[in-house]
C-alpha cells in the first residue's frame, strides 16, 4: 500500500477511535449524572420523611408545653406547624434544619421566608411511588388524629370543651387534670405509635428502592469505566503501531539509510548499502531512484577513467599550453606524430618548436595559444617534416572566467580525423549523459521526497489544530511534525549545495531593519540556549547602522547556520555575538565555549560533507551547513575565518559588504496562527493535483475557511470543470498525467473567458528553473511543496482579498542602548539616582520600547533590574 493511502487510512481509523472515546466519555458522564441523581433523590426523600416525623414530634412538644405552662406562644407555634405542613403559611427556607428549638422564648419570633407549599405536594414532586406515598399519607392522617387529641388537651386548660358534634362550643372551668391525662394517657401513646408504624414501613420500602437505584447507577458507571479503559488502550496501541511501524520502520529508518548512501555517492564512494524495497510505496520508489543514480555514477567514473585512457591511447595528438604558450603536457600520440619525446617539449614554446612557421612577431596571446581557428594548418616534426593537421583548441580560464590561463589543443592527421573525432565525441556525450542523470536525479529526489512530506507536514498541522486530541497525543504529533521539518531541512541543504555548485544561487540585496533581524535571531536562540543552560548575549556596537542594504534572507541564513553549529557543540558556558561596522562592511564574531576543534579539523571545517568526529558527541545533519555559509559569504563579497581550541571553544568571524540606509518602511509583523476567515462571499476554488493526499490536504484547509472546492486529478479534468463551473482561483500542480499543469495553464491563459482567473502553480520541484517555467507559462504565483497554511493564506489574501482573523501573538522587543550610555545608566542605577537616568533618556535618541521599559522599572524602584539590564548590554 502507498504511504499516502496508508496515512489516509490511519487518519480515518484514528479519527474513528477518537470519536469512540468521546462517545464513551459522554456515556460515562451520563452514568455519573444518574448516580448523582440517585443520591440526590435518596437525600431529598429522607429529608421529607424526616420532616413528617419531626413535625409530629414538634406538635407533641408544643402541646405538652402549652398544657404545662399555659403560654399562648406554644399554642400559636402549634397551629403554625400545622399551617406550614398544610401549605397555609410560608415554609421557612431552612425548615429541614433545627428550627423550632430556637424559638422557646417569648421574644423570639420565627421567620417564615419561603413559599406556601403543602408537605403532600413536596412528597409528590420528590417522585415517590404510590405505595410509598400512601404510607406517608397514612402517617400524616394518623398525625392529624394525634393533633385532635393535642387540640382537645390545649382547649381543656382554657375551659373549652367539645359538644356532641365535636365542635368546641362548651365553656366550663379549666380542667388541667383532663389535659394532662389526654397528653400522657394510653390513647395518646397509641396515636403516637400509629403515626410511626406506617412511617417505619415507608423507610423500609424507601431504602430498598433508593439503594437499588444507587446500585444500578454504580454498575453502569463501572461498565462505562471498563469501556473507556478499553477504548483508550486501543487508541494507545494504534498510535504506537502507527508511529513505530509506519513512521520509524517505513519512513525514517530507510530515509536515514538513503541519506547516508547519498552522502557517500556525493563523495564518489560507490560501496553503499541501500535499504530493501519491502513495501511498494514512495520510499521504495526513492530507493529505486538512488539505485539508478548509483549505476549512472559508476558509469560516469568509468567514463572519466576511459577519458584518461583515451588521452593515452587516442589516435589524435593532444597537448596543453600555459598562458605564455609553453607545453605543459603532451600525449604519446602527439609525441609519435611530432617525433619528439614528451620530455623534450615540456616547458618549450609552441612558436619556437613545432609551429614556428605559423606565427608573426606581433602575434596575440590567443593566436599563440592556437585559439584563433585557421584553415590548412601544419606542424613541423623533429626531423623538419611538415604535415597538415586538423585541430581543436580549448581555452582554460581561471575560476572567475576572465583570466586566460592556457589552452588544450587536439590535433590529428587529416586522414584519421573522422575516426578520432567520433571517438572523442562519443566520450564527451557519455560524460554529458552522466551529468544530466545527476541533475535528473536531484530533481526527482526533490519531487519524490517533498510530495509525501507535503502530506505528512500538512495533515500533521491540521491535527495540531484539533481540539479533540489529548496533550500527550499532541506531543507525539509535534514530534512527527518536527521530524518532518528536520528531514525537509536535510533535503534543502543538499539542494542548496547543488545550486551553489551549479552557480544558480543569486544574491538579491534589499533594504531592511538590521536591528529587527538581530532581535529575531536573539529571540530564536535565547530560549534554545536557556534550555541547555547556556548564556546567550548579543552585543551591538554603536557603529552599526539600524537600516542597511544587503541580502536579508542570506544574512539570516548565515547567522542561523553558525549559531546553530555553536549550539550543537556547546553544552556549558555561553554563546556570544559581537557586531561592528567599518568602511561599509558588517563585522560579525560569534564565540562559544563548546568542545572546540583541532588544527586538523579547522582545515576541513568549511569543506562540504565533512563533520568533526568526536567520540563523546553525536552529530546530526549533512555536513553542508558551514560549506554553504562560506559560499554565501563569498558571494556577498565577504570572507569568513575560524579560530578554535580543543575543549575551550570556537570563534567564527565574517565580514560582508553592506550599504547604510537612512530609513526603511518596515513590514507588518507576520501573523502565524489563523483562527477563522472573516468572510468568503461564496468563493469557488479548483484544486488540481494527481496525488489524492495533496488534494485532500488543500481541500480540507480551504473548506475550513468556508470556501467551496472542486477537485481535478489531471489537466483534462481541469478543462472539463472550467466548462461547467465558474472559479475564482485555481491551485495547479505542475506534474500531472495526460495533460500537465504547465500546458493546462498555458491553454487557460490563452482563452478569453479564463485568462483572468488567478492560477497558483504548486510543485515539489523547487529549483528556480521550475518556478520560472511555471510563471512563463502564465501562472500568477508559484508555491513549492511542502507548503504551510500561512503560504495558502497569503496567496488567498493576495489574489482574492480575503480577510483572516489571526490569533494575537506577543512579540518580545529587545532593549537597545549604546555601550557608553548603558555604562552611565548602570552606574546611576547603583546610586538609586532615578531622576538622572530619566534626564539621560530625554537627552539621547532612544527607541520608545527601551525608554518605556526603563521608566517603568524606575517607577517601581527596581534599580537592581536596571543595573542587570544595562550591564548585560556592554559585557
Q: How many CB atoms lie within 10 A of CB 671?
A: 15
Q: Which range scores top for mean pLDDT: 7-11, 20-24, 501-505?
A: 20-24
Cβ atoms within 10 Å, residue 71: 14
Give me the pLDDT at residue 2, please: 66
Best CA proximity match to 778, nearest among 818, 750, 807: 750
Where do runs of H (alpha helix) occur along 314-360?
A: 332-338, 342-345
C-alpha–C-alpha distance, residues 293 and 299, integer Å: 10
Following DSSP, what letter does each residue of 104-115 receive, concatenated?
A: -STT------S-
- State CA 665 to chain mean position distance: 30
Cα torsion for 235, 238, 244, 250, to the nearest 10°?
-140
Q: Average per-residue pLDDT in the chain? A: 78
Highest mean pLDDT among 214-218, 343-347, 360-364: 343-347
Give the residue from 299, 317, 64, 15 showing the smallest Cα distance to 185: 64
CA distance 700 to 15: 15
Check whether 331 has a pLDDT greater than 80: yes
- Please tell me the distance from the alpha carbon of residue 835 to that of residue 283, in angstroms, as a whole number: 68
Mean pLDDT is lowest, of 588-597, 716-725, 860-869, for 860-869
pLDDT digits (tens, 9 = 90+) for 149-185: 878 888 888 888 888 888 888 888 888 888 888 888 8
The H-assigned helical ranges of 645-759 are: 692-703, 715-724, 741-750
The residues, any chain, with a CB within 8 Å of residue 769's CB and separated by 6 or more, are: 504
Between helix 514-531 and helix 552-569 the angle, nearest 10°, is: 20
Bridge-based pairing of strands 659-661 and 639-645 is: unpaired
Rounded (5°) CA angle 467-471-475: 110
Q: Determine the average pLDDT of the residues in 124-141.
A: 76
pLDDT recorded at residue 614: 46
- What distances in angstroms separate CA 216 from CA 25, 203, 640, one per listed residue? 19, 20, 78
pLDDT tens digit sequence for 621-631: 555 668 888 88
Convert 842-860 to b/e letters by CB count within 10 Å (16 or more is b). Answer: eeeebeeebeebbeebbee
pLDDT score for 639: 93
Q: What is the mean pLDDT of residues 60-86?
A: 80
pLDDT tens figures, 624-666: 668 888 888 988 889 999 999 998 999 999 999 999 988 776 5
pTM: 0.38
Query: C-alpha distances in angstroms, 153 versus 61, 100, 315, 549?
Result: 13, 21, 148, 110
Inter-residue contact 126 to 41 (CB < 8 Å): yes
pLDDT at 678: 67
The residues, ordered by sequence, that sit 6+ positions from 41 with a Cβ below 8 Å of its Cβ are 126, 127, 210, 213
pLDDT in tens, 365-397: 888 888 887 767 888 888 888 888 888 888 888
590's enclosing H/E stretch is strand 585-592
pLDDT tens for residues 724-765? 989 999 999 988 888 999 999 999 999 988 999 999 999 877
Q: Summarize the confidence of residues 845-860 as an average pLDDT.
A: 77
Q: Is the pLDDT of residue 354 over 90?
A: no
Ordered DSSP codes for 475-506? HHHHHHHHHHHHHHHHHHHHHHHHHHHTT---
Which single residue is written with the C-alpha cell 506577543?
810
Provide the H-helix boundaries in 711-817: 715-724, 741-750, 768-776, 789-800
Q: What is the pLDDT of residue 163?
A: 85
**Count of other CB atoms within 10 angstroms of residue 146:** 23
Separation CA 760–CA 792 (nearest Å): 10
Closest by Cα among 723, 728, 714, 724 to 686: 728
CA 469, 471, 473, 475: dihedral to nearest 10 degrees? 130
Cα–Cα dist 708/680, whole Å: 9
Using pLDDT thresholds of 50, 70 and 90, give the confidence band for residue 574.
very high
Those residues whose C-beta lies under 8 Å from the C-beta of residue 530, and which sit 6 or more positions away, are 536
Task: Classify residue 594 by its DSSP letter.
Answer: S
Q: How far apart are the first and last CA of the chain?
A: 60
Average pLDDT over residues 116-141: 77
* Selection from 290, 284, 386, 275 nearest residue 337 by Cα: 386
Q: Provide Rg for the chain, Cα atoms.
A: 47
Alpha-carbon torsion angle 11, 14, 15, 16, nearest 10: 120
44, 240 in Cβ contact below 8 A?
no
Residue 583 reports pLDDT greater than 70? yes
The answer to whether 689 and 698 have CB atoms below 8 angstroms apart is yes
> How many residues are given for the chain?
875
What average pLDDT does the segment 600-623 reach? 62
What is the pLDDT at residue 616?
42
Neighbours of 390 (CB within 10 A): 19
Centre a 10 Å sphere on the Cβ of residue 808 and count the other Cβ atoms it contains. 7
The answer, yes or no, to whether residue 26 has pLDDT greater than 60, is yes
Higher-pLDDT residue of 209, 660: 660
Nearest one of 489, 491, 479, 317 to 411, comparing CA atoms: 317
Structural contact between residues 258 and 266, judged by C-beta atoms closer than 8 angstroms = no
H helices within 70-162, ranges in order?
72-86, 119-125, 130-156
Task: Please give the pLDDT value at position 810.
Answer: 45
Peptide bond into 786 cis (omega under 30): yes
* Residue of 301 and 183 predicted with greater confidence: 183
C-alpha cell at 677: 476567515
Neighbours of 356 (CB within 10 A): 11
Amino acid at each position: 500500500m502507498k504511504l499516502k493511502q496508508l496515512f489516509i487510512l490511519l487518519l480515518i481509523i484514528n479519527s474513528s477511535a477518537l470519536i469512540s472515546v468521546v462517545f464513551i466519555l459522554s456515556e460515562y458522564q451520563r452514568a455519573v449524572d444518574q448516580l448523582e441523581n440517585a443520591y440526590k433523590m435518596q437525600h431529598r426523600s429522607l429529608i421529607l420523611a424526616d420532616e413528617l416525623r419531626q413535625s409530629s414530634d414538634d406538635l407533641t412538644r408544643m402541646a405538652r408545653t402549652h398544657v404545662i405552662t399555659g403560654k399562648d406562644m406554644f399554642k400559636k407555634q402549634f397551629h403554625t406547624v400545622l399551617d406550614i405542613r398544610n401549605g397555609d403559611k410560608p415554609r421557612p427556607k431552612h425548615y429541614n434544619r433545627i428550627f423550632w428549638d430556637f424559638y422557646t422564648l417569648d421574644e423570639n419570633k420565627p421567620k417564615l421566608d419561603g413559599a406556601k407549599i403543602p408537605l403532600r405536594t413536596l412528597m409528590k414532586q420528590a417522585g415517590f411511588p404510590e405505595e410509598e406515598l400512601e404510607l406517608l399519607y397514612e402517617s400524616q392522617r394518623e398525625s392529624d388524629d394525634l393533633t385532635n387529641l393535642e387540640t382537645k388537651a390545649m382547649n381543656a386548660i382554657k375551659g373549652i370543651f367539645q359538644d356532641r358534634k365535636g365542635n368546641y362550643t362548651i365553656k366550663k372551668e379549666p380542667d388541667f387534670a383532663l389535659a394532662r391525662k389526654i397528653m400522657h394517657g394510653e390513647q395518646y401513646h397509641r396515636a403516637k405509635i400509629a403515626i410511626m408504624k406506617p412511617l417505619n414501613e415507608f423507610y423500609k420500602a424507601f431504602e430498598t428502592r433508593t439503594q437499588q437505584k444507587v446500585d444500578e447507577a454504580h454498575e453502569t458507571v463501572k461498565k462505562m469505566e471498563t469501556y473507556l479503559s478499553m477504548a483508550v488502550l486501543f487508541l494507545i496501541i494504534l498510535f504506537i503501531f502507527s508511529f513505530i511501524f509506519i513512521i520509524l520502520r517505513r519512513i525514517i529508518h530507510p530515509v536515514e539509510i538513503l541519506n547516508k548512501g547519498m552522502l557517500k555517492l556525493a563523495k564518489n564512494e560507490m560501496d553503499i548499502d541501500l535499504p530493501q524495497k519491502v513495501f511498494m510505496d514512495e520510499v521504495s520508489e526513492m530507493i529505486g531512484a538512488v539505485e539508478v543514480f548509483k549505476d549512472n555514477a559508476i558509469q560516469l567514473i568509468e567514463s572519466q577513467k576511459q577519458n584518461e585512457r583515451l588521452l593515452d591511447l587516442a589516435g589524435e595528438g593532444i597537448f596543453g599550453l600555459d598562458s605564455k604558450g609553453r607545453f605543459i603536457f603532451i600525449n604519446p600520440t602527439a609525441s609519435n606524430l611530432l617525433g619528439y619525446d614528451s620530455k623534450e617539449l615540456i616547458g618549450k614554446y609552441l612558436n619556437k618548436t613545432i609551429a614556428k612557421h605559423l606565427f608573426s612577431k606581433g602575434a596575440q596571446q590567443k593566436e599563440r595559444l592556437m585559439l584563433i581557428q585557421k584553415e590548412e594548418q601544419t606542424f613541423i616534426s623533429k626531423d623538419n617534416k611538415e604535415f597538415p593537421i586538423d585541430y581543436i583548441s580549448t581555452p582554460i580560464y581561471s575560476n572567475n572566467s576572465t583570466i586566460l590561463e592556457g589552452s588544450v589543443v587536439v590535433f590529428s592527421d587529416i586522414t584519421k580525423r573522422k575516426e578520432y573525432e567520433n571517438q572523442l565525441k562519443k566520450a564527451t556525450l557519455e560524460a554529458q549523459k552522466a551529468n544530466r542523470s545527476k541533475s535528473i536525479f536531484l530533481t526527482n529526489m526533490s519531487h519524490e521526497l517533498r510530495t509525501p512530506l507535503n502530506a505528512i507536514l500538512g495533515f500533521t498541522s491540521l491535527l495540531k489544530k484539533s481540539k479533540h486530541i489529548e496533550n500527550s497525543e499532541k506531543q507525539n504529533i509535534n514530534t512527527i511534525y518536527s521530524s518532518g521539518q528536520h528531514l525537509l531541512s536535510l533535503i534543502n541543504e543538499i539542494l542548496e549545495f547543488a545550486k551553489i555548485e551549479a552557480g544558480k544561487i543569486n544574491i538579491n540585496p534589499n533594504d531592511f531593519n538590521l536591528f529587527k533581524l538581530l532581535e529575531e535571531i536573539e529571540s530564536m536562540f535565547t530560549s534554545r540556549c536557556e534550555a541547555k543552560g547556556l548564556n546567550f548575549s548579543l552585543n551591538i556596537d554603536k557603529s552599526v547602522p539600524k537600516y542597511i542594504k544587503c541580502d536579508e534572507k542570506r544574512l539570516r541564513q548565515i547567522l542561523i547556520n553558525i549559531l546553530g553549529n555553536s549550539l550543537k557543540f556547546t553544552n556549558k558556558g555561553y554563546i556570544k555575538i559581537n557586531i561592528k561596522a567599518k568602511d561599509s562592511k558588517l563585522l560579525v564574531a560569534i564565540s562559544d565555549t563548546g568542545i572546540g576543534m583541532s588544527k586538523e579539523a579547522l582545515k576541513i571545517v568549511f569543506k562540504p560533507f565533512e563533520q568533526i568526529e568526536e567520540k563523546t558527541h553525536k552529530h546530526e545533519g549533512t555536513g553542508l551547513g558551514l560549506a554553504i555559509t562560506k559560499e554565501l559569504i563569498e558571494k556577498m563579497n565577504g570572507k569568513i575565518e575560524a579560530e578554535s581550541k580543543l575543549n575551550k571553544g570556537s570563534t567564527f568571524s565574517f565580514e560582508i559588504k553592506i550599504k547604510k540606509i537612512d530609513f526603511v518602511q518596515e513590514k507588518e509583523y507576520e501573523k502565524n496562527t489563523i483562527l477563522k476567515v472573516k468572510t468568503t462571499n461564496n468563493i469557488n476554488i479548483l484544486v488540481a493535483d494527481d496525488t489524492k493526499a495533496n488534494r485532500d490536504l488543500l481541500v480540507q484547509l480551504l473548506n475550513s475557511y468556508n470556501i467551496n472546492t472542486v477537485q481535478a486529478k489531471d489537466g483534462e479534468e481541469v478543462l472539463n470543470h472550467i466548462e461547467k463551473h465558474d472559479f475564482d482561483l485555481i491551485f495547479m500542480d505542475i506534474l500531472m498525467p495526460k495533460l500537465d499543469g504547465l500546458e493546462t495553464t498555458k491553454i487557460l491563459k490563452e482563452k478569453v473567458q479564463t485568462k483572468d482567473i488567478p492560477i497558483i502553480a504548486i510543485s515539489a520541484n523547487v529549483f528556480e528553473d521550475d518556478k520560472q517555467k511555471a510563471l512563463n507559462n502564465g501562472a500568477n504565483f508559484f508555491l513549492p511543496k511542502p507548503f504551510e497554511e500561512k503560504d495558502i493564506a497569503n496567496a488567498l489574501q493576495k489574489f482574492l482579498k480575503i480577510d483572516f482573523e489571526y490569533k494575537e501573538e506577543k512579540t518580545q522587543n529587545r532593549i537597545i542602548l549604546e555601550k557608553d550610555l548603558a555604562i552611565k545608566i548602570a552606574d546611576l542605577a547603583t546610586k538609586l539616582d532615578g531622576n538622572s537616568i530619566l534626564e539621560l533618556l530625554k537627552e539621547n535618541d532612544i527607541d520608545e520600547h527601551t525608554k518605556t521599559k526603563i521608566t517603568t522599572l524606575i517607577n517601581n524602584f527596581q534599580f537592581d533590574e536596571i543595573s542587570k539590564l544595562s550591564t548585560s548590554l556592554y559585557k
